[in-house]
Chain A
Amino acid sequence: MKFASEFRDPKAAKALLAEIARVADKIGATKEKPIHIMEICGGHTHSIFRYGLDKLIHEGVEFIHGPGCPVCVLPRARVDECIEIAEREGVIFTTFGDAMRVPGSKKSLIQAKAEGADIRMVYSPLDALELARRNPEREVVFFGLGFETTTPSTALAIQQASREGLQNFSVFCNHITVPEPIKALLDDPHMCLDGFIGPGHVSMVIGIHPYDFIAEDYHKPIAVAGFEPLDLLQSVLMVLNQVAEGRAEVENQYARVVPEHGNPVSLAAIADVYERRPSFEWRGLGEIDASGLRIRPAYAAFDAEEKFGVGYAGVRTELKDPEGCACGAVMTGRMKPVDCPQFGRGCTPEMPLGALMVSSEGACAAYWQYGGARAREAAE
């Protein structure tokens, strides 16, 4: 297969950047009084930094990095609970690799593994299912983590386990949803967002209508976008045009992958297996109503919270963020990563203090990796 480069065509990018500049000028966006556009998805954050779009774009357009990186919003208490389960006798604890280095209050999963817990990185919940089939005498637990993009995969794995009557497979469900934290951000009186770039792959599952409230109730524009550079520039332009024309709508820039109504098989599996929790804790954002999913009673046999009495089924501890860490302020766009007192000092990708430094989708790690010498010098 041949690579097709036209999507990064510098001519097309230039034309888009020029058009963005024209519309930004027209609506009076300046460096001092910029228009704030939040990219919700961590994949978009990574792309923006990788291609330097934040520097190429008109100075009156500022990107605010949203809460859409699942490991970045994972509270330390959840990591502690994973370790608590993993260290039980007879357990094989399986997880996506992304979660391995997220710091808990005492250690990360990778440290727990080094100390002897049987923790295995898997690519898919189907790998965990296969481990359960092959190890009937062991209890295999999968750490269900992520937004609507990964939620169907654990739902389908649980349905499959149920059909097979597997007794030794369960999911520690920490799935979260995108629309609710956006609503929480919009309700925050300190927020000054003018529009949104919506997550492409989440929308592939849920469609574009779950964002209707952003346009209808809050009168903010949103464009659901792919993660390639031209996709992102195009969606910024869509948002700016809406602002210029006084419109607030949900537009779909990524229609080649995102169907208006989402993926019916995935949505049916999610609805069958999961129900909303009354509220769920987000790192940096606190408890958000109806923002997390739990396993329905009909599938309780596959619920690690029930099996092990941890998480929302156990005693819950509130854990403060470590001293001097500004993850919450960075996550809500109130502070830039470089302004965190720990950035590059107590917190680097090698020795992360906060989760935003762990994943390539986290704003702090992206600043560190692509902000270049400037970001690192600022830390010295």
Chain B
Amino acid sequence: MCLGIPGQIVAITDESRQMAMAEVSGVRREVSVACVADEGPLSGLIGQWALIHVGFAMSLIDEDEAAKTLEALHDLGEAQEALEQMAAGDAALAGE
């Protein structure tokens, strides 16, 4: 819950609500980019990597840093946990 996981922003889904699609270890998830958006258009974020905490992109990182962080998270078992929590979130929305 506290570590966050790197994801790559692949599309902007809702400009007004500052929402984007991120790809996290092969899984797609809609996330908020409110914390990493500066003045420019949101489309500038596409292709960038970010540390994603509980559905919010909190900090932009470079690809190398993303790779290292993911590896450490896999090692700690935290990457799997984050992906399971995303799946649980989807299940909750489906009514479970």
Q: Residues of A at under 8 Å CB distance from B?
A: 1-8, 41-43, 46-47, 50, 68, 70, 94, 96-98, 120-127, 130-131, 134, 145-147, 149-150, 152-153, 156, 160, 199, 201-202, 204-205, 227-229, 256-257, 263, 265-266, 269, 360-361
Contacts and interface: CB of A to CB of B under 8 A. Distances in A.
Contacts of B81: 97, 360
A266 B35 contact: yes
Contacts of A1: 63, 66-67, 70
Given A123-B29, A127-B92, 7 more contacts: A6-B68, A43-B3, A46-B78, A70-B2, A120-B91, A126-B55, A152-B56
B75 interface: yes
Interface string B38-72: 00000000000001011110110101111111111
Contacts of A152: 35, 56, 58
A257 B32 CA distance: 18
A153 B71 contact: no
Contacts of A96: 1, 54, 85
Contacts of B85: 96-97, 121, 123
Q: Shortest 5 CB-CB distances between A and B: which pairs?
A: A124-B55, A123-B89, A120-B92, A121-B88, A127-B89
Contact of B53 (A2, A130, A201): A201
A257 B68 CA distance: 13
Q: Most chain-A CB neighbours within 10 Å: which of B31, B32, B35, B81?
A: B35
B10 interface: no
Contacts of B82: 123
Contacts of A97: 1, 81, 84-85, 88
A152 B2 CA distance: 12
A46 B54 contact: no
B86 interface: yes
Contacts of B30: 126
Given A152-B56, A256-B61, A257-B61, A4 B67 contact: yes
B66 to A, nearest CB: 7
Contacts of A263: 35, 58-59
Contact of B65 (A46, A120, A256): A256
A134 B93 contact: yes
B86 A123 contact: yes
A87 B4 CA distance: 31
Given A46-B76, A130-B93, A146 B71 contact: no
Contacts of B36: 265
Contact of B56 (A5, A124, A202): A124
26 contacts: A3-B67, A4-B64, A6-B68, A7-B72, A50-B76, A70-B2, A96-B85, A97-B84, A97-B85, A120-B91, A122-B88, A123-B55, A123-B86, A125-B54, A126-B32, A126-B55, A130-B93, A134-B93, A149-B4, A149-B53, A153-B54, A201-B53, A201-B58, A257-B51, A360-B77, A361-B2
A204 B70 contact: no
Q: Most chain-A CB neighbours within 10 Å: which of B2, B34, B59, B72?
A: B2
A40 to B, nearest CB: 11
Given A123-B86, A228-B68, A265-B34, A160 B17 contact: yes
Contacts of A201: 2-4, 51, 53, 58
Contact of B59 (A6, A125, A147, A204): A204
Q: Most chain-B CB neighbours within 10 Å: which of A2, A6, A126, A229?
A: A126
Nearest to A150: B54
A158 to B, nearest CB: 13
B58 A205 contact: yes
Given A7-B72, A41-B2, A70-B1, A156 B93 contact: no
Given A123-B88, A204-B59, A227 B72 contact: yes
A204 B56 CA distance: 13
Contacts of B35: 152, 156, 263, 265-266
A130 B67 CA distance: 31
A3 B96 contact: no
A272 B76 CA distance: 35
A201 B4 CA distance: 8
B68 A127 contact: no
B93 A125 contact: no
Nearest to B83: A123
Contacts of A122: 88-89, 92
